[in-house]
């Protein structure tokens, strides 16, 4: 499989020196067996390489497509997949990947194209967003490093952490290069920021690390965000599983959305928190979180703002004018237990009087463990239908009897 920075022996030595006092002790890197393919495949090779590549053979009979993502596309070409990521915040700077079946030749490609041999067996991630999806796809055993294992809420990942099989990456700027290179992953997921100066993947590419920027937070719809689970599937040749998982999510999401009446008088929804004297931190009106509120029959107070990012710093005055009389406030600071504590944390919060007076102030931090660890962080991507059902129940109590869910997961908490 692909080893990070094989062309940089000096860099690896430096990493070893820097990690001399570290507790990192990665398991031996597994290698896939080579198999002979003499007849058409019925399934993708999830844990095998090809021993006898033959042009014209379709090595990926199970495929995915992107129906909702505003940023991703894929085409299949027999023994490789061409994946394009066009970030919604910088569409003029697309990223192209070739996911090539191991044991087959790498096709011609441009200098800026990132090539990854698939199926990958060793994954490290600097963002926790996909962990719930990895569990749904039965891929937990392929993860060997996470930015902060203490912040995980997915039970199967917690078990793997307790077994000592996942290392902590930690660090700033969305990653820590030295422990990453020591773990020698096949692929590393790095958070893709709406603010390019914080992105780490270009520097990792220069070091030979197969870094995949994970741009789920920049999607414009909840189902578009959920489709990022297909990126995991393409890297592990588990497209067949991904289609089953995503089709269920999509079906349940649409069935819940259909319950919500089209209403021009949809209740307005405040979100975010005051972080400094004169600004509020929330999300853009073009972000998937704003669309989630809309699908639940609400109206985000900054719905005229087209920014697709999940982190927007807006002037306090603008948010106050738009949200002071909003009857709902959904998405306050995680870990704040009461409205009184919310106001004590920043007195500016008291100016959003309508939601406070009506008793409709909610955090989305169920499962909060401290250090910004809660269910929404690593189980939100693959559960937009659960989030939607909870929002509909809050915004439209008359519909609660029609909401049927087998999920025991929850995201929202009402502040007292």
Q: Is residue 130 part of a domain?
A: yes
State the Cα–Cα distance between residues 129 and 148, nearest whole angstrom.
12
* 230 and 281 part of one domain: no
Reading the chain (416 residues) residue by residue, the pLDDT tens digits are: 333 333 333 333 333 333 333 334 455 666 899 999 999 999 999 999 999 999 999 999 999 999 999 999 999 999 999 999 999 987 667 899 999 999 999 999 998 899 999 999 999 999 999 999 999 999 999 999 998 999 999 999 999 999 999 999 865 444 567 788 889 999 999 988 877 777 888 888 888 899 999 999 999 999 999 999 999 999 999 999 999 999 999 999 999 999 998 877 899 999 999 987 799 999 999 999 999 999 999 999 999 999 999 999 999 999 999 999 999 999 999 999 999 999 999 999 999 999 999 999 999 999 999 877 999 999 999 999 999 999 999 999 999 999 987 788 999 999 99
pTM beyond cutoff 0.75: yes
Q: The CATH number of the domain where 222 resides is what?
A: 3.40.50.1980
* 247 and 306 part of one domain: no
How does strand 268-270 pair with strand 328-330? Answer: parallel
For 376, residues 6+ apart whose C-beta sits below 8 A from its C-beta are 364, 365, 366, 387, 411
* 244 and 266 part of one domain: no
SS3 content of the chain, % helix, strand, coil (to 5): 35, 15, 50
Distance of CA 341 to the CA centre of its chain: 30
* 222 and 281 part of one domain: no
Can you count the helices (H) and strands (E) in the chain? 14, 19
Q: Is residue 123 part of a domain?
A: yes
* 164 and 277 part of one domain: no
* 242 and 268 part of one domain: no
State which residues form the domain around 317.
262-414
Last residue of a domain, one of 205, 224, 252: 252
Distances (CA, A) of 297 to 301, 375, 376: 13, 23, 20
* 189 and 91 part of one domain: yes
* 407 and 301 part of one domain: yes
Residue among 271, 293, 283, 259 at smallest CA distance from 384: 293
* 219 and 129 part of one domain: yes
* 151 and 291 part of one domain: no
pLDDT of residue 193: 80
For 240-253, the pLDDT digits (tens) are 999 999 999 999 99
Residue among 212, 191, 180 at smallest CA distance from 127: 191
* 105 and 43 part of one domain: yes
Q: How many domains does the chain have?
A: 2
Other CB atoms within 10 Å distance of the CB of residue 340: 12
pLDDT of residue 139: 98
Q: Is residue 77 part of a domain?
A: yes
Helix (H) or strand (E) holding 219: none
Other CB atoms within 10 Å distance of the CB of residue 218: 26
Residue in the block written with tokens 């920043």: 346
Backbone dihedral angles phi then psi of residue 328, each to the nearest 5 degrees: -130, 140
Last residue of a domain, one of 210, 225, 252: 252
Q: Is residue 1 part of a domain?
A: no
């Amino acid at each position: 499989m692909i080893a990070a920075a094989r062309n940089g022996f000096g860099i690896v030595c430096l990493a070893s020196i820097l990690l001399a006092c570290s507790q990192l002790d990665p398991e031996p890197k597994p290698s896939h067996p080579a198999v002979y393919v003499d007849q058409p495949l019925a399934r993708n090779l999830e844990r095998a390489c090809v021993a006898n590549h033959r042009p014209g053979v379709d090595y990926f009979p199970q495929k995915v497509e992107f129906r909702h993502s505003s940023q991703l596309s894929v085409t299949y070409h027999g023994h490789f997949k061409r994946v394009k990521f066009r970030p919604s915040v910088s569409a003029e700077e697309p990223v192209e990947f070739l996911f090539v079946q191991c044991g087959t030749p790498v096709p011609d490609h441009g200098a800026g194209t990132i090539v990854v041999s698939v199926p990958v067996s060793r994954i490290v991630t600097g963002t926790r967003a996909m962990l719930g999806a990895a569990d749904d796809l039965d891929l937990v055993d392929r993860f060997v490093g996470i930015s902060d294992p203490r912040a995980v809420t997915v039970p199967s990942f917690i078990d793997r952490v307790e077994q000592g099989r996942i290392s902590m990456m930690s660090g700033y700027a969305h990653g820590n290069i030295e422990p990453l290179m020591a773990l020698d992953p096949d692929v590393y997921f790095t958070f893709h920021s709406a603010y390019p100066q914080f992105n780490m993947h270009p520097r990792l590419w220069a070091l030979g690390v197969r870094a995949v920027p994970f741009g789920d937070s920049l999607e414009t719809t909840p189902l578009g965000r959920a489709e990022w689970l297909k990126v995991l599937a393409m890297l592990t040749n588990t497209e067949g599983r991904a289609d089953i998982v995503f089709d269920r999510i999509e079906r349940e999401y649409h069935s819940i959305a259909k319950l919500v009446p089209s209403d021009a008088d949809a209740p307005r929804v405040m979100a975010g928190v005051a972080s400094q004297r004169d600004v509020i931190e929330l999300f853009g009106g073009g972000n998937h979180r704003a669309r989630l509120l809309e699908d639940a029959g609400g109206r985000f107070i900054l719905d005229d703002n087209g920014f697709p990012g999940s982190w927007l710093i807006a002037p306090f005055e603008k948010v106050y004018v738009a949200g002071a009389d909003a009857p709902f406030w959904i998405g306050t600071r995680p870990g704040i237990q009461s409205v009184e504590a919310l106001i004590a944390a920043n007195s500016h919060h008291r100016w959003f009087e309508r939601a406070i007076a009506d008793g409709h102030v909610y955090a989305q931090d169920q499962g909060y463990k401290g250090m910004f660890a809660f269910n929404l962080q690593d189980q939100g991507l693959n559960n937009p239908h659960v989030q939607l059902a909870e929002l509909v129940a809050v915004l439209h109590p008359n519909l609660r009897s029609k909401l049927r869910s087998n999920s025991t997961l929850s995201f929202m908490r009402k502040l007292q």
